Structure 1
Amino acid sequence: MAKKKSQPVKLTKRPAKPVPAQSLLGDLRQLIEAAREQTARAVNSTLVTMYWQIGKRIREDVLQNQRGEYGMEIVSALSAQLTVEYGKGFTEKSLWRMVQFAEVFQDIEIVAALSRQLSWSHFVELIPLEDSLKRDFYAELCRVERWSVRTLRHKIGHLLYERTAVSRKPDVLIAKDIAALRDDDRLTPDMVFRDPYFLDFLEQ
């Protein structure tokens, strides 16, 4: 009995996938990037708030608003345990920085507002500034102008605050200008104009 010849298998071509319109692709990219940015901001804000709360608790419950040998031993013990459980973000140095954070930024509402734009690394640059008005000046300008950490460090290092006319005003008026910036995102002229006397001094 003769074997039947096998028929060649016909390959059906799949329809080509339609190329998405560039406008649709662009819109989807924007949605994804916006969601990523929003998520990153939310995570950052949560972390900054947590660091502030940790610093506040240690400062009030352990140090009782003052440092002592016993308090330092407790912080060291806390750091050792937290580092084992949660990693190197809770070293003794980091915990002390959190305590400083709660000391110099005592208003949680201001911290919450700043943390929408400023990362923890921004706050690390601001914490060492001893003058509270200078610190608030840099913090609010950084928030409004969305400086990177590198830019903030550059501005501080090059004495932006001292070079502005606002730094020559009485503290009460400086605080008023900073409040206007904080509440209304409004830069007063003295925050923008450079003090000619300071510039003359630098050029001598």
Structure 2
Amino acid sequence: MKYYNEIKNKLIDNEVYKKVKDYSKNRNDLSTYYEVGKLLYEAGNKYGEGIIKKYSERLVIEVGKKYNKRTLFRMRQFYNMIEIQKVSPVATQLTWSHYCELLPLKDINEINYYVKITIEQCQKIYQLQKKV
């Protein structure tokens, strides 16, 4: 029984660590994407809408393929959704994928509703997709 309890405790500790690590990573992703979205919003106002395409072409080469035009556009939409439209503050219980699912929605009340029920019901992304 001694070994079992030790094994169990190690596994539980590992699960807790993974959840903390995932939460921290998600919070950092959302914060970074919000800040990038803000910069893209400001750059777009100063240099025009073509700046996202221009930046994405360089970022794909210099940083990685996932920073394409579509992703950068979503980051700007994310900033716009949170800051400009005054949607509820960023809920770190939701992932970037959750927010990407909500970006096409235009009604602020509808977005806030889905944020609220997703958090309250601990919904996974596929559950949110079915409702939206």
| TM-score clears 0.5 | yes
- C-alpha RMSD over aligned residues: 2.0
Partner residue of 1:32 out of 1, 5, 14: 14
TM-aligned CA distance change 1:108 to 1:138, over 3 Å: closer
Q: Which amino acid aligns with 2:69?
A: E
Distance 1:109 1:150, change over 3 A: closer
**Partner residue of 1:110?**
89
Residue 21 of structure 1 corresponds to 3
Q: TM-score, normalised by structure 2?
A: 0.89
Residue 84 of structure 1: aligned partner: 61
1:59-82 deviation line (CA, Å, top 9, x unaligned): 02x1229xxxx5232211111111
Select 1:49's aligned residue among 20, 23, 31.
Answer: 31
- Verify the 8 A CA contact 2:88 2:112 in the aligned structure 1: no
Question: TM-score, normalized by length of structure 1?
Answer: 0.59
The amino acid of 1:25's aligned partner reads I
Q: Which runs of 5+ in 1 are unaligned?
A: 1-18, 157-204
Q: Which runs of 5+ in 2 are unaligned?
A: none
Structure of greater relative contact order (alpha carbons < 8 Å, 6+ residues apart)? 2
Specify the code of the residue in structure 2 equivalent to 1:103: N
Offset, 1:20: 4.2
Q: Of the candidates 46, 52, 55, which is equivalent to residue 75 of structure 1?
A: 52
**Structure whose residues are more often helix by fraction:** 2
In the alignment of these two chains, the number of paired residues is 130
Which of the residues 100, 120, 126 maps onto 2:77? Answer: 100
CA 1:110–1:147: 2 relative to 1, 3 Å = same
2:108 is aligned to 132
**Cα distance in 2, alignment partners of residues 23 and 78 from structure 1:** 53
